[in-house]
Structure 1
Amino acid sequence: MAEKLRLELVSPEKQLLSIDVDEVVAPGVEGEFGVLPGHTAFLTALRIGELIYKVNGKEEYVAIEKGFFEVSNDKVTVLAEGAELGREIDLEEAIRRKLEAEKALEQMRHEDEIKFRKAEAQLRRELLRVSVAEKYKK
């Protein structure tokens, strides 16, 4: 059994990670799940949330939007509609954008349902970005 997993994280814009890791925890549509070296092959859908990976016992965090997660032969491939490494998120800017999303959501509450849902999704993204970025500010 391999001692490490190869983690490949790709968004439409770029490849964010290609690294050997000890463990990956991801936000599946059916709930959070973890993968260790030697895990059986599978493919699943991801929801917006935190992807956590460990390297030599240190946790790293990534804000991801929905996508797909595949495990095969000790390689994890994550294809996400959007992703940001937690250490690269500007916390102050993320908080500002979260507040803007909350304000837009409140203004749309009684207006157009489609616009409301889009604003709600934007708020979820910004809440995630703040949560992930805060882990690096402690």
Structure 2
Amino acid sequence: MNPAHRITVSVPRPWVTRTDPDHGIVVAARSREVPASGFPPELVVRSVPVDTDLTAWRGEAVEAMAVQLDRFELEEDDEFRLGDHVVSYRRFAYRHGATDVLCDQWAWVVDGIGITLTGSVARPDYPTYCDVFEDVAATLEVVRQAA
């Protein structure tokens, strides 16, 4: 993460969170409640340096996911303004073992920093968690630190 910026996000209060758990991960949060599907809903915020625009960066990411994720399928692809920035939104699915996983992903590029927020859940649980993921995305802010 660029030390000139701070990323803030509000996750659901009862979720278990880890901040800076791994290189490039700002926060990872997992629901304490595990649905009947057995796949715990998860939110992950990542940041990486980006030397291209939002559309190109996310296009490269989709190509990489198509190779890396089992049965990857892009279901929705959009760009729109959220708060002060243009955001790329993608909904995609993949298989994790026997589980059909559905992900909502928002991405921003701010001053050369690429930020993604990904909410992952088993497909049968998506109707329960999609609004939670959207609410969290609406809280993400990139704040410039004073020099």
TM (norm. structure 1) is 0.27
Higher helix fraction (1 or 2): 1
TM (norm. structure 2) is 0.26
Higher strand fraction (1 or 2): 2
